[in-house]
Amino acid sequence: MITNSTRQRDLRGHKAIRPTPRAANTVEHQAVLAWRLTPRDRWIIRMLHEHRVLTAHQITALAFPSFRSGRQRMRELYLWGVVDRFQPFISVGTAPMHYVLAPAGAAVLAAEDGLDVKDLGYRHDRAFAIAHSLRLAHTVGVNEWFTALVARARHSDPAEHAVLTAWWPEARCARHFGDLIKPDAYGRWTTQGTEIEFFLEYDFGTEILAKLAGKLAGYAALAEATGITTPVLVWLQSSRREATARRLLHRAWRELDNPRTVPVATAAADLLNPEAEHPSPADKVWLPLDNHANQPGVRRELHQLLDAWPHVLAPSSASEPGGEVTFGPDSPSLLMVPAPPPMPPAQAQATSRGPGTRQAVSRP
């Protein structure tokens, strides 16, 4: 108070500080973590490093049977210094807890890969910078999109054999294709014996749609350079915005030298059934841009999009001219650290892809 100023000598007095229960990141603590961390914990560490930030609800949908069990385990990982967390401000309600990688978790990840922490490109301040980034909502939205696919696969009928076999974030895509395109993500979805790969353009309603349409030229250049036709999925927040985007996208698509090399499909978030148990982008919400005259306006499930593009080869059968397999996550000329399997360890084992294995990816 201005009428009762604090004296200087009072600032020197001892005041008890509430001790923090979090463990320090010491060599001894790293030894303790060796027997505390489960394969699922280590998978979560890799996912946080790869995708920067995941919410409590997303981590539950990805790897835990219930929100309570997920919350308890994530609290333990937080107390052990493996993960950090923050809760962004929202004007209505309460935001879920957001998790990022902490120094102890980065040390574990680096040790597993035989690297120094600095070689991972990890810095604690950069990991926490996402909390103040203007791209936070967009990053969380893209991660939510893929989380819904994983949740759909985890709770689907085993006869469908649904699995998300690849999930690359924006940063990894930029390192691979940044000279031509910078998609928001790359993924592969398999169900009912059909596998489709795609680039994702996630529109959060803030990007100028003409700029979004202008990206098709970059995808055409990539297709020409690699000889591989990869579908581009455009996800929008409303059907009204989708209608506007389709007009601009179709105009830009028609102006390409070879439009067939850039198959495009659009969908809107408000088309999902809110009463469904696990609504996801795999549902019947996709409308190809080059709509066939015999099926105008027919929405398709994600894996059914290949029926609209007979010229698009399945990812496992695609190769470069001359029969050589194209670059993928396992290519030695690319990143030292491969992308983690997008499915959690328990589910990965059920689909013959254990936590320590990686399916060979020939594209993109």
* 258-286 pLDDT tens trace: 999 999 999 999 999 988 889 999 999 99
Strand order in 98-101's β-sheet?
54-55, 98-101, 83-86
88-97, 200-209, 319-328: which has the minimum mean pLDDT? 319-328
Mean pLDDT of 209-213: 93
Do 147 and 243 lie in a common domain? yes
> Is residue 222 domain-resident?
yes
Supply the pLDDT for residue 293.
45
* Pairing label, strands 194-202, 185-191: antiparallel
Q: Which domain holds residue 217?
A: 136-350
Supply the pLDDT for residue 290.
84
Please say which residue of 132, 148, 171 terminates a domain: 132
The answer to whether residue 326 scores a pLDDT higher than 50 is: no
The pLDDT mean for the chain works out to: 85
Mean pLDDT of 9-28: 65
Do 239 and 312 lie in a common domain? yes
Tens-digit pLDDT profile for residues 76-105: 999 999 999 999 988 888 899 999 999 999
> Is residue 1 domain-resident?
no
Residues pairing with 235 in the sheet: 202, 267
Residues pairing with 54 in the sheet: 99
Tens-digit pLDDT profile for residues 140-192: 999 999 999 999 999 999 989 999 999 999 999 999 998 999 999 999 999 99
- On whether the pTM is more than 0.95, the answer is no
Written as one letter, the residue type at 284 is K
Please say which residue of 95, 115, 132 terminates a domain: 132
Look up tokens 């696990």; give the residue. Answer: 278
Q: Burial level of 101, CB count in 10 A (0-12/13-18/19+)?
A: buried
The answer to whether residue 348 scores a pLDDT higher than 60 is: no
Number of domains in the chain: 2
